[in-house]
Structure 1
Amino acid sequence: MADTAARAFIRTRRREASPRRHPLVATAMVLPLAALLVFAFGGWDAVVTQASSVGVMLGR
């Protein structure tokens, strides 16, 4: 039991020590994938259609 608690403590400390990524860096990482998906699945029209469908489903 004590061994499990020690490992959990180490994992928690490791998570706290890791630096957080800046939002602009995260955006720069995601944009190429987003552009690829927009190209692969039919552009903004498909995105707007899906968003509209979800909005109708949610009652908005």
Structure 2
Amino acid sequence: MATRARGHRAADVSVGQRSGRRHPLVAAAMALPPAALLTIVFGGWEAVVTQASSVAGMLGR
């Protein structure tokens, strides 16, 4: 019975969300903190710069 209640609650939450694309600034705000953390932890600064350049190119088209 508890599983059913959780499934019902999850369905209610998803109904209230709008579909569509996320604003690029919101997406960047969500992606930058984990990217910075991974850069610090793994030392992959060159990879982050390359990806950021690719994203900037996509947003600029």
State if a TM-score over 0.5 links the two structures.
Answer: no
Give the TM-score of the pair, scaled to structure 2.
0.38
Q: Which has the higher contact order (CA 8 A, sep 6+)?
A: 2
Structure index of larger Rg: 1
Give the TM-score of the pair, scaled to structure 1.
0.38
